[in-house]
Amino acid sequence: MNCKPSRTEEHKKDLMAVQDSMDALQGKWKISIISSICYYNKRRFSDILNDVIGISNKMLSKELKELEINKLIKRTVLNTQPVTVQYELTQHGKSLQTIINNLKDWGIKHRQEILTNNADIFIDVKTKDALVENS
């Protein structure tokens, strides 16, 4: 991305590509879910439900559906009794590794950056609120 205003036609495409990536990864749990599946290679619904702390079955179902539509994971219904469903990363899903790694590295640098030179202020990265400390 060569830093152009979004009005220039070619740059609009770059911007859209970035947004497409963000959309695919957005959602509170997507990265955690990908991570869980990736580690175990193949993973069942209830297992992921256990791996990802705090997620509800509704959310898991929804996020998995989106990941599948985006071809990041593959869903397989197994012939067991009762039915079990297996999820695994597609090749395309695995290609996310680089990005996720970059995001992790930058995130660590970011946290340091935010925490440095802020002795008098406490920044809550999550809520993005800057709160003055009680003296």
Partner DNA sequence: CCGTATCCCCGGGGATACTG
Partner DNA sequence: CAGTATCCCCGGGGATACGG
CB of 79 to a second copy, least distance (A): 26
Q: What are the φ and ψ backbone dihedral angles of 48, each rounded to 5 degrees?
A: -60, -40
Tell me the C-alpha distance between 37 and 3, whole Å. 35
> Using the rule CB under 7 A, is 85 a contact of DNA?
yes
For position 4 contacting a second copy by CB under 8 A, the verdict is yes
Residue 74 contacts which entry, a second copy, DNA, none (Cβ below 5-8 A, type-dependent): none
Binding flag, residue 106, a second copy (CB under 8 A):
yes
Smallest gap from Cβ 84 to a second copy, in A, equals: 18
Tokens at 109, concatenated: 């640098």
Choose the contact partner of 120 out of a second copy, DNA, none; CB within 5 to 8 A by kind: none
75 counts as binding DNA under rule CB under 7 A: yes
The residue from 19, 21, 35, 56 that contacts DNA (CB under 7 A) is: 56
- Residues 45-84 binding a second copy (CB under 8 A) are 51-53, 66, 69-71
Q: How far is the CB of 68 from DNA (least distance, A)?
A: 9
Q: Does 55 bind DNA (CB under 7 A)?
A: yes
| Residue (14 or 32) nearer to DNA, CB | 32
DSSP class per residue in 86-106: EEEE-HHHHTTHHHHHHHHHH
